[in-house]
Amino acid sequence: MKGEQGSSVDSTRNDKFDRLRPIQIDNVGTVARDHLASERTWLTYVQTSLAIASIGVAITQLFAIKPIDAKDEANPFEAELDQAPLQTRTNQSRTESTRFNNPHRKVEIGDNISLAVIAHAYKPLGGSSNDFPLKMMSRWFKQVGFFVILYDRKSTSWTGDIEVEEYTSILKEVVSTQLSQYSLSKVIIGGYSAGSLIASRVRELDWLDCEVRYLLLSHPLSVSWALNLFRGTQIDNTLHDNLKTHKHLAIWGTNDQFTGVERYRQWSDNLKRGYPNTWSYIEIKGADHFGKSFVDVYNGLIEWITS
């Protein structure tokens, strides 16, 4: 009886110890490999996310375009811009976002006139109609008798399609209303930075019974894929189609932060070979993306827009 009781106690004790023993896993190697693979995948994800975030911060800092203060000695034209009279008219659909600027000369009904439309830089990162290059170009255009349209884009899309439609719509509205009493002889389709990309995509302007030219300032050649997603082929095709019949002038700086000068030169050389009569460019030594040195191209630009 005592032996049976001792045996029962030993059995119970052994069962308890069995529960405390490590669990035996047959596929230890497989589990370890899977765990290691999961850790590597997670680390890769974290590293990629941090890299993308760093790029985003860098681009935001570079593209954060602010109006240049009139006291900025690096931009001597700014004070003159502020002193120049700005005659502004607005239409009913865009009462605060479109500025229609008269030329610095008296214009009579029936006169031949010229018009320039200049689109601003990337809106989500600070671009607006107050960008210094736009104000400077507007001043120059008005000096040689152009009407000038500057406008703030209502929205920004991933593909840029909405911006192209908006640009075309504003052009049609102004020509058919405020300029209907004049004889239009020349239209400049222009843009700065991301606005240059939008301007280059404007097409099918046969309804304009006049000469049409394109002005591309600091064209974002190397980052166009990010500004207008899934439109790379369309952008190239439209540019080539427009070059068949319309003169283009591209202006860039050798120190552009987004597109290397060699990339610009290769792009320009290819277009010049294909369209020697319609493609022109001005390269500004030492200039960056933001147009602080655009004052150096005054003579070349005026010669091109008035020829």
Asked whether residue 69 is domain-assigned, the answer is no
* CA dist., res. 240 & res. 1, Å (int): 105
Asked if pLDDT for residue 55 goes beyond 60, the answer is: no
Residue-range definition of the domain harbouring residue 260: 99-306
Asked whether residue 74 is domain-assigned, the answer is no
DSSP helix/strand/coil, 214: strand
Asked whether residue 46 is domain-assigned, the answer is no
Asked whether residue 70 is domain-assigned, the answer is no
- What pLDDT is recorded for position 188? 97
Confidence of residue 159 (pLDDT cuts 50, 70, 90): confident
Q: Collect all residues with Cβ–Cβ distance below 8 Å to 294 and sequence separation of at least 6.
A: 133, 136, 137, 217, 251, 284, 287
Per residue in 76-99, pLDDT (tens digit) is: 333 233 333 333 333 333 434 566
Q: Number of structural domains, the chain? A: 1
Asked whether residue 148 is domain-assigned, the answer is yes
Confidence of residue 56 (pLDDT cuts 50, 70, 90): very low
Positive/negative CA dihedral, 254, 257, 261, 267: negative
- Residue pair 184/209 in contact (Cβ under 8 Å)? The answer is yes
Asked whether residue 178 is domain-assigned, the answer is yes
User: For residue 239, what are its two tokens?
Assistant: 């540019």
Asked whether residue 270 is domain-assigned, the answer is yes
Confidence of residue 125 (pLDDT cuts 50, 70, 90): low
Per residue in 246-290, pLDDT (tens digit) is: 999 999 999 998 899 999 999 999 999 999 999 999 999 999 888
User: For residue 229, what are its two tokens?
Assistant: 């997603």
Asked whether residue 14 is domain-assigned, the answer is no
| CATH number for position 302 | 3.40.50.1820
At 8, the amino acid letter reads S
- Residue pair 115/187 in contact (Cβ under 8 Å)? The answer is yes
